Amino acid sequence: MRVNIDPELSDRTAFYRLLTATVVPRPIAWVSTSSADGTDNLAPHSFFTIASVTPPVVQFTSVGRKDSLRNVEETGEFVVNLAPEGLFEQINATATDFPRGVSEFDACGVEREPSLRVKPPRVADSPVALECELHSTLRIGDSTVVFGRVVHAAIDESVLLDGHPEMALMRPLTRLGKNEWGTLGGIKEIARVPFEG
């Protein structure tokens, strides 16, 4: 037997928890931005995916008006850093609701490195960084979807195997429901079955 829930009649927080517990696992965009006055910001966003390959565009969603969104609107630039398992506690710490003007890089002890094509810095210990220029934003209810055109990708050669990023070496984290996070368990490989008509 199923429980039937009408989102229009449900408590907002309860339905948020239902969505985030059922749309899983969610990849994490560890987004670095800089404000117009030069303060660096870093925050994890688990509403994240690829929007387009040609041109290369990624997207993340800001629920409410957070510093990441404000900074992108001010400067038109951001970096998506892969969130690796080895930085689990620092990634979680950067989700703290610090006052505007406080840099999570400094408050949480995350090392920066300069980006090549955009002003916001990359996370030095993240194996993959996608430097982005703002493509567009889309407001939906209380959230804003941010689309960024990838203008440069920087990948640590230690996570490459035959020139391709290897999951077992990158060890990306994912978000699940409540306070739950996911790590890579067993990885299965299978080729697509070609249609032979």
User: Mind listing the pLDDT tens digit for each residue in 16-25?
Assistant: 999 999 999 9
What H or E segment, with its residue span, contains residue 79?
Answer: strand 77-82
Tokens of residue 151, six digits: 């203008």
Question: In the chain, helix, strand, coil percent, each to 5?
Answer: 20, 35, 45
* Residue 181 placed within a domain: no
Closest by alpha carbon to 55, among 130, 139, 164, 163?
Answer: 130
* Residue 178 placed within a domain: no
Which range of residues forms the domain containing residue 156?
A: 27-173
* Residue 45 placed within a domain: yes
Q: What is the pLDDT of residues 40-79, one digit of tens each?
A: 999 999 999 999 999 999 999 999 999 999 999 999 999 9
* Residue 104 placed within a domain: yes
Q: Which amino acid is at 157?
A: E
CATH number, domain at 150? 2.30.110.10
Q: What is the pLDDT of residues 101-153, one digit of tens each?
A: 999 999 999 999 999 999 999 999 999 999 999 999 999 999 999 999 999 99
Number of domains in the chain: 1
Global confidence as pTM: 0.95
* Residue 43 placed within a domain: yes
Contact call for residues 131 and 153 (beta carbons, < 8 A): yes
Residue with tokens 């249609």: 195
Who's near 36: CB < 8 A, 6+ residues apart?
71, 74, 75
